[in-house]
Amino acid sequence: MKDIARRAGVSESAVSFALNDRPGVSAATRARVRRVADQLGWQPSTAARALSGEGAATVGLVLARPARTLGVESFFLQLVSGVQEALAARRLGLLFQVVEDVDAECAVHRRWWAEHRVDGLLVVDPREDDPRPALLAELGLPAVIIGAPGARPVPAGTPVSRLWADDAGAMASVVDHLHGLGHRRVVHIAGLPGLAHTRRRIDSLRTEAGRRHLTDVTSLPTDYSDAQGAEATRRVLASARPPTAIVYDNDVMAVAGLAVAAERGVSVPGDLSIVAWDDSVLCRTTHPPLTALTRDTAAFGRQAATHLTALLDGAPATDLRAALPRLTPRASTGPARGATPAAR
């Protein structure tokens, strides 16, 4: 402020008024001060703004997942790219941290709140018995929960919005597709147990199988990694009654499963049909290309960040369901071997 005041020929208080858009200086003085500030490369201090109650100009995102699974999964990279695009338009930063579990995530949220590090939070991977909604209510931080919560709802009156995808509806479309192709033995190689969306997918699979009188349908949880996806695939293909179709909870596990089928001499889709939950370049460039649930994940991230900035601007909390993922059939799914036209 001293440098700007000296070069602009005004007092330090005039510099403060001009840079903080406060009355007390003329339009000409304000313009001169800002021009000098630009020439000197001045930027507002985030720490000073936080201490003065003006906000940190930063949004926080903590991911409680095994760090080793992030480098190969495209979903979060696309999600964060969409989040960053929306935040950049508002000149907001993104503070990102990976931790081992949800207790560690809660500790980070408390620390960020105490240190005035963030103005709001993006919260992912709701749990079936999730402590975070109550914590958000206690802290009073504006937040968007990406995904419908599990057993613990968001307390009423808190500045917390929800943005969620219809996992049950998406699974129903997958089961409908496979059932129409004559598949009766279906395995779902699922993601992390305890996540609310994993439970919704498992429950939807059971419900849809029951509606169609399918009794040979099961789900196996994993950590979303290619290693566990491959191991689960080997286990089910070596069973006495191997499945005729496998649904994987992400693209990485689906590609790993396709490789396991190839090493065991299992034809895809002649002997086994494969469906990936998230579409990506991996699904489109394998041989055969993988049938997948397609959605605009970057747009999903932009939508979440836009809802959070609306909360920061004082808008009321909302509950919004995103567009239903669309099943994109490709060459990895086909009629079940031995299925009759009537069965399909």
pLDDT at 342: 42
Q: Is 55 left (phi over 0), alpha (psi -120 to 50) or beta?
A: left
How many Å apart are CA 93 and CA 43, to the nearest integer? 14
What is the arithmetic mean of pLDDT over 77-96?
94
**Strand pairing of 291-294 and 326-328?**
antiparallel
Q: Say whether both 74 and 187 belong to one domain.
A: no
pLDDT higher for 330 or 8?
Answer: 330
Please check whether residue 128 is in contact with residue 199, taking contact to mean a CB–CB distance below 8 angstroms: yes
| Residues 6+ positions from 262 with CB-CB distance below 8 Å | 268
The Cα angle at residue 289 between residues 146 and 181, in degrees rounded to 5: 90
Q: Say whether both 172 and 72 belong to one domain.
A: no
Asked whether residue 310 carries a pLDDT value surpassing 50, the answer given is yes
* Phi, psi of 247, deg, nearest 5: -110, 125
Q: Say whether both 174 and 279 belong to one domain.
A: yes
pLDDT at 67: 72
How many Å apart are CA 277 and CA 171, to the nearest integer? 9
3-state secondary structure of 83: helix
Residue 339 lies in a domain: no
pLDDT at 17: 85
Binned at pLDDT 50, 70 and 90, residue 343 comes out as very low
Asked whether residue 46 carries a pLDDT value surpassing 70, the answer given is no
How many Å apart are CA 190 and CA 73, to the nearest integer? 14
Q: Say whether both 179 and 318 belong to one domain.
A: no
Q: Say whether both 75 and 12 belong to one domain.
A: no
270 forms bridges with which residues in the sheet?
Answer: none
pLDDT at 41: 79
* Phi, psi of 195, deg, nearest 5: -75, 140
E-strand ranges in the chain read: 58-64, 93-99, 120-124, 143-146, 160-164, 185-189, 216-220, 245-248, 273-276, 291-294, 319-321, 326-328
Binned at pLDDT 50, 70 and 90, residue 21 comes out as confident
Q: Provide the 10 A C-beta neighbour count for residue 294.
A: 15
Residue 256 lies in a domain: yes
Residue 335 lies in a domain: no
Q: Would you mind telling me the total number of residues written for the chain in this entry? A: 344
Q: Using one digit for the tens of pLDDT, what is the confidence trace for 148-180?
A: 765 566 777 789 999 998 999 999 999 999 999
Residue 336 lies in a domain: no
| Overall domain count for the chain | 3
Q: Say whether both 152 and 175 belong to one domain.
A: no
Q: Say whether both 71 and 133 belong to one domain.
A: yes
- What would you report as the CA-atom Rg of the chain, rounded to the nearest whole angstrom? 25
What percent of the chain shows pLDDT beyond 90?
Answer: 66
Residue 177 lies in a domain: yes
Per the structure, the complete domain to which residue 171 belongs is given by: 167-293
Q: Say whether both 159 and 173 belong to one domain.
A: no
pLDDT at 141: 92
Residue 205 lies in a domain: yes
CATH at residue 7: 1.10.260.40
CATH at residue 260: 3.40.50.2300
Q: Provide the 10 A C-beta neighbour count for residue 64.
A: 21
How many Å apart are CA 247 and CA 189, to the nearest integer? 6
- Tell me, rounded to whole angstroms, the distance of Cα 190 from its chain centroid: 16
pLDDT at 72: 66
pLDDT at 344: 44
Please check whether residue 288 is in contact with residue 268, taking contact to mean a CB–CB distance below 8 angstroms: yes
Q: What share of the chain is helix, strand, coil (3-state, %, to 5)?
A: 45, 15, 40
Residue 149 lies in a domain: yes
Binned at pLDDT 50, 70 and 90, residue 65 comes out as confident
Q: Say whether both 125 and 236 belong to one domain.
A: no
3-state secondary structure of 131: coil
The Cα angle at residue 73 between residues 67 and 78, in degrees rounded to 5: 110
